Amino acid sequence: MKNNKQNNNKGTERLSEKDELKIKLEKQVALGIWIQSVGQLIEFVSLARLNLISDEVVANAENHILAGASIQTIGTFLEAIGVTGEITFPDGEQHLNAQKLAVTGDWLQALGAILEAVGGSEIIRAEQENHELFVP
């Protein structure tokens, strides 16, 4: 593997332009995931509050949606922490652990999305009988 560091006139090493761009893009990815985490948290809190004031009789479906949103929220934050760790620790065991955390977050987001989809499908079935239900 070729060394991507270059020596400048003072004898210190600096990153190549490609490596600098890679780091910049990785930081943008991490920022995007953190923004997504905040959005997911807003969705979860809003759904929880909506659930508290709801008079709808589709409690099981709403519970699936709320559980799914909460699991997705946890997963998104774990992914954001993991990706940030990957940037902070570019090599070694800490980097590997950060990758594992990010992937665990991805799996939790997937599981949460499945639960939300199940709840949404239940609401759609109930919608055929009652036209006042809301599918987030």
pLDDT for residue 131: 65
* Within a domain: 20: no
Side-chain half-sphere of 133: how many Cα atoms within 13 Å? 19
pLDDT higher than 90, residue 54: no
* Count of structural domains, the chain: 1
Distance between CA atoms of residues 4 and 135, nearest Å: 51
- Report if residue 135 sits inside a domain: no
Residue 50 included in any domain: yes
Residue 85 covered by a domain: yes
SS3 category, 8:
coil
Determine the structural domain holding residue 59 and report its residue range.
37-127
In a domain, 53, yes or no: yes
As a whole number, mean pLDDT of residues 51-58 equals 73
Q: What is the mean pLDDT of the chain?
A: 87
Question: Is 74 inside any structural domain?
Answer: yes
